[in-house]
Chains A and B, each alone.
Chain A
């Protein structure tokens, strides 16, 4: 649902230094109204710094943050009217669940009766109806998370910020909450900026993902585009599993790995060195040894190791030049790869549509 009161966020030239460290290096980012955008990066990448700057909790050295047309960079946090879910939830321990959720409404001078209705509505949205009179320390981790969320959206902010809100939950509950958060976002239609270091979480929830590293945006794209068409080695490496194979360039511009031709021409002639990104689940075991064709590239090697991980597993295949390729396989009865002996010679196919080429590091 598109929420007419949701606001786009426009960030320009945002810079923040901590001593010599560039926490944010002239970041430009346009977040669309009603969008669910995730800031994804390793710890220390600047993702939290960026979120805190949007919330107004840290003062950038330079730059502009606009909500709609209004410049916010000088506005104190309590006048920004953005909801935020903190990593620790930051629930007030001396207030009940209802008092916590009602706090922003009280600050906005809502009549008690209307406020109570809004609190009940918010409790229903996060499926905590009837728990309003509980003390905070009587709640489980998952319930606290929901209260923190309800408190962040109950005053109908135009922007919702979340700082790794699910990181304290166990895996099952976390995966359940990911879907639930996504549904609540769709229901509220509020522009949402979500911070996580968990790439799977980012892929699950986001309309778009902004991958951030060393205070700079590496790539801003849809989950599919980030996964299938990573722009550089960092993105390819950080999102999903991958093996990087260095390619050689022939005189006619052809890119090949060993004797197999990967691409007949370079995607960008000015870039000399290219790598092939191989996703383990995009590889498949071939029944018969065939040659590289128009349809697929074929690698040959020996099975070195099996790892069983439940729903899937992977095999490590040592190619002739001793490069190790990881092949992910299903673990059902039809999975033939598990029946192979260690050391067996196998042929592995990669469909040409699944080929991902990235420039090698340091020559963009």
Chain B
């Protein structure tokens, strides 16, 4: 059948271009297979196993026994309340300490901000355990901090700074601080310096300009950082275990205790599942209030 020249033109190389596009799509899919495989192996399988264990009783049959206990025993509720309390307080301390740090870093000329950023990131390069035990040394009864405080007359006799809530919060805030500072710094860096000039030109005092312009423009970074810190705190183990000295019982430490003393995988798994769901809930609620992809990755 003769084809009119117009139609022929509109389909020029059409088949070949189409199959080329298909080929590229298959290649892309093939390239992402290893990643999909690894994610399935290290995330989906273990979490699925966790779910399974939490619904199985000591005899290997399906049961809601572990979840029932969690509702019945007040001690579980106390653990969750303590976990949320420690996480919230740590986040609050990080906000109070981290906002000025991030502001300072963002205000510095770039060659200096690099050096100070290094100081913020330095703790990342030492082991978590080392840092936590370092705090133990610093904070104990005859530790550096107590000695110094007594010498300059801050207090008379050694104050209990460790193996309690105080020590746990100090240690956790120290470890979590960079997680708050980094996204906040990113958000602040994106605030053009002429924003504050414009505010002041229009008649805003420095305090007013900060409140109406700088704070709202940095709030997404602050929210992102706070969320990261809060969520990381929820599942934190090492620092509360070492610096809390058994007096600060969070979910993660409780899970260890159940495994060590009762060898009860089902109960431990159920705790893990509830913590996971609580974390997902926190992330979901937060995601409804803020657009975090903007704050974290800078896209619109």
Chains A and B belong together in one complex:
yes
Q: Give the interface of A toward B (CB within 8 A).
A: 55-57, 76-84, 86, 88, 90-94, 103-104, 107-108, 137, 151, 155
A154 → chain B closest CB, angstroms: 9
B192 → chain A closest CB, angstroms: 6
CB contact under 8 A between A90 and B200, given known A78-B205, A103-B212, A107-B208: no
CB contact under 8 A between A94 and B197, given known A103-B202, A107-B208: no
For B197, list chain A residues within 8 Å (CB).
55, 57, 77, 86, 90
> Does B195 interact with chain A (Cβ within 8 Å)?
yes
> Does B198 interact with chain A (Cβ within 8 Å)?
yes
A74 → chain B closest CB, angstroms: 15
Q: Can you list 6 A-B pairs, Cβ within 8 angstroms, ordered by A?
A: A77-B197, A78-B199, A78-B205, A84-B198, A84-B201, A155-B203
> Does B24 interact with chain A (Cβ within 8 Å)?
no
For B200, list chain A residues within 8 Å (CB).
56, 76-78
Q: B216–A107 contact, CB under 8 A?
A: no
Q: B202–A93 contact, CB under 8 A?
A: no
B194 → chain A closest CB, angstroms: 4
Q: B201–A78 contact, CB under 8 A?
A: yes
For A94, list chain B residues within 8 Å (CB).
216-217
B196 → chain A closest CB, angstroms: 9
B149 → chain A closest CB, angstroms: 41
CA distance in complex: A94, B211 (Å): 13
> Does B204 interact with chain A (Cβ within 8 Å)?
yes
CA distance in complex: A155, B203 (Å): 10
> Does B273 interact with chain A (Cβ within 8 Å)?
no
A98 → chain B closest CB, angstroms: 14
From the candidates A81, A88, A90, A92, name the one contacting B203 in the complex (CB within 8 A).
A81
> Does B213 interact with chain A (Cβ within 8 Å)?
yes
CA distance in complex: A76, B209 (Å): 13
For A57, list chain B residues within 8 Å (CB).
197, 201
For A88, list chain B residues within 8 Å (CB).
192, 194
For B202, list chain A residues within 8 Å (CB).
78, 83, 103-104, 107, 151, 155
For B212, list chain A residues within 8 Å (CB).
103
B52 → chain A closest CB, angstroms: 47
CA distance in complex: A83, B209 (Å): 16
